[in-house]
Structures are given as C-alpha cells and as structure tokens.
C-alpha cells in the first residue's frame, strides 16, 4: 500500500471512532501501531508494507489491513493493486489501435434511441460513442486523438462547466477512476502524464487527489444542462465487458415517465442519424446547429 494513500486513509478516523488507545492525540486518525494491532501484525511489518518495502504479502494480511482501515470494496481493490503491482511489459505499453467488437458497436447504436452510451479504456480514452452521447456530452469523434478522453473533457473543457449542473458530483468520479487506474497501471506513461497535467491545470485537483476517496464510482445520478433542451437528470452505470476487460460501457438512462425522460427523448429524436439536414446542420466552425423546438430559432451547440 502506498504511504501517501495509507496516511490519507488513516487520517479519516475521528477521535470518537478510535478506541485502541486512551492517549491524547496531536493529529487525527489512526497511528501505524494502531493499524498494525488491529490487523494483527507487528508495527515494523505494517510500516514496511505501507512504504512498499514488503514485496510479498499474503492475502490474509492484506485483508486484515483492509478491515483495520475500514476500506470499502473499491478501496480494498485499490489496496490490493498497490500491494501487488502488475508486472510491466514496455513493449505492450506502446500505443496501439483499440478494437471494439462490431456487436458492441451495434449495441450502442440500438441503445441510442433511449440511452446515451460510450466506451472507455482504463485511462478514460473514449473509443466509441452513440449519437445521443455525442449530442449531449460532446462529439469525441470530431476531436483530435489526444483529446478523445472523458477525463480531459470534464477537467479541462469550458463546455463541461456549462454541461454539468453539479460539477462537484462528476469530478470525484473522474478522480476516483484515475486513481484506481494508476494503481492497476502504475507505469502507464500516458495516464501519468494526464494526472500530472491535471495537477498543474486544475487548482482543485491536488486536493481531490490527496483525499484518496475511492467510493463506488460505477453508478449514480448526474445532472446536466443542455444549451437547447434544458436540464435533465440521468442515472449512469459503468459496465465492464467480460470479453474485453479493459473496456467499460458508460451508460446513461432517465427514469421512466420523468421530465428528464421526455427531454432525453427530444434530444434523441433530434440527434438520430435519419434527421434531415434542414433540422440539423453545421455552422462554419464545425459546431452542430439545431432548430430550437421550443422557439423556432436556430441555436448553436458546442
């Protein structure tokens, strides 16, 4: 387990939740010796484990530490990833074209009438997206290859600040995904560059990263504000493909019968591939333009 991660997790414990020692505390959280006692290992052993100086750790010890630190499922997985880093293969880390199976392509397009969906890799590179995802979030296909990344869009794009009604809800999901990926792929150059760039460009990112919060980020509700159709709240699910474990489907749906469902249906109707050029076109800058259904005027969509 990384030292910085362990210190961050140990620091979450409040004085009222600690019962391992009656001594006064100068700093909040569990001390190393207290974690070691709860995990039933020596303080020296736990210190070496926390500092990454114990390359071979039994599963029972890792389980004991996870229980002592009260790690959730996602945090436990990250804890195991850090304690048992994967072997690196430099030749395999070179960028190579990603293949998405045709059947998965078809599934996303079928879903496009009711749900927006896109597929990402571990570093959140967007591999494919359906027309509804392109209409609501952004047209990743139109971006430069380096920019086709969901984390880049959320953290760096001005359009994302207008799109997400609750930025404080989406950014922890991005940070948690990047942190989990960094534990599983510690030597991924492009991933490390993305994290480093976020530390420099986004003032709040360092605080988010230092928080070491790894709650379950695979589902939840997100609020959006679209420039034309307005506000809507969608439920998102992240589903891993069994045959392609490094690919994840990000799926967004609206509650049946809700106003968000009606809004999403309107957006789906406009963005469907069969919509005529008179209804949807592009302006001179390449931005998609649609006729505002509510006012009969033409509106530019970023």
Query: CB neighbours of 80 closer than 8 A, spacing ≥ 6?
Result: 62
The dihedral over CA atoms of 195, 196, 202, 203, expressed in degrees to the nearest 10, equals 120
Confidence of residue 22 (pLDDT cuts 50, 70, 90): low
Backbone region of residue 281 per phi and psi (left: phi > 0; alpha: psi in -120 to 50; beta: other values): beta
Counting every residue written for the chain, the total comes to 302
Structure tokens at 110: 């079928």
Give 298's strand partners: 291
Q: What is the C-alpha to C-alpha distance for residues 173 and 177, in angstroms, rounded to an integer?
A: 6
Q: What is the C-alpha to C-alpha distance for residues 92 and 236, in angstroms, rounded to an integer?
A: 31
pTM (whole model) above 0.85:
no
Helix (H) or strand (E) holding 163: helix 158-163
* 83: helix, strand or coil: helix
The number of CA neighbours under 13 Å toward the Cβ of 247 is 18
Q: What's the mean pLDDT in 68-76?
A: 67
pLDDT tens-place string over residues 245-301: 889 999 999 999 999 999 999 999 888 876 544 555 443 333 344 555 444 433 334
Average pLDDT over the chain reads 77
pLDDT tens-place string over residues 216-252: 678 889 999 999 899 999 999 999 988 888 899 999 9
Of 230 and 9, the structure prediction assigns the larger pLDDT to 230
- Percent of the chain beyond pLDDT 90? 38
Structure tokens at 89: 């293969």
Q: Please say if the pLDDT value at position 162 is more than 60.
A: yes
- Percent of the chain beyond pLDDT 70? 68
Closest residue by Cα to residue 32 from 14, 22, 20: 20
Max CA separation in the chain (angstroms): 75
User: Domains of the chain by range and CATH?
Assistant: 3-84 (1.10.260.40), 102-301 (3.30.450.180)
In this prediction, residue 92 carries a pLDDT of: 47
In this prediction, residue 277 carries a pLDDT of: 47
């Amino acid at each position: 387990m990384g030292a910085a991660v362990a210190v961050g997790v140990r620091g979450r414990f409040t004085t009222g939740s600690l019962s391992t020692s009656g001594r006064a505390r100068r700093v909040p959280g569990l001390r190393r010796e207290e974690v070691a006692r709860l995990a039933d290992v020596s303080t020296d052993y736990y210190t070496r484990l926390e500092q990454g100086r114990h390359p071979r750790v039994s599963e029972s010890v890792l389980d004991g530490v996870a229980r002592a630190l009260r790690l959730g499922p996602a945090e436990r997985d990250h804890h195991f990833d850090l304690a048992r880093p994967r072997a690196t293969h430099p030749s395999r880390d070179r960028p190579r074209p990603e293949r998405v199976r045709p059947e998965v392509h078809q599934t996303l397009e079928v879903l496009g009438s009711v749900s927006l969906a896109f597929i990402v890799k571990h570093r959140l590179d967007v591999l494919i997206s359906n027309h509804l995802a392109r209409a609501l979030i952004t047209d990743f296909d139109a971006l430069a290859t380096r920019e086709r990344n969901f984390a880049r869009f959320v953290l760096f794009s001005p359009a994302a600040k207008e799109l997400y009604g609750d930025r404080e809800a989406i950014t922890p999901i991005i940070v948690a995904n990047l942190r989990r990926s960094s534990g599983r792929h510690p030597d991924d150059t492009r991933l490390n560059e993305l994290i480093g760039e976020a530390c420099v460009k986004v003032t709040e990112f360092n605080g988010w990263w230092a928080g070491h919060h790894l709650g379950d980020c695979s589902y939840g509700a997100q609020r959006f504000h679209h420039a034309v159709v307005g506000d809507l709240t969608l439920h998102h699910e992240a589903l891993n493909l069994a045959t392609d474990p490094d690919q994840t489907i990000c799926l967004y749906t609206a509650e049946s019968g809700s106003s968000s469902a009606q809004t999403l249906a309107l957006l789906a109707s406009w963005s469907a591939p069969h919509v005529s050029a008179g209804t949807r076109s592009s302006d001179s800058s390449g931005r998609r333009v649609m006729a505002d259904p509510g006012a009969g005027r033409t509106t530019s969509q970023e």
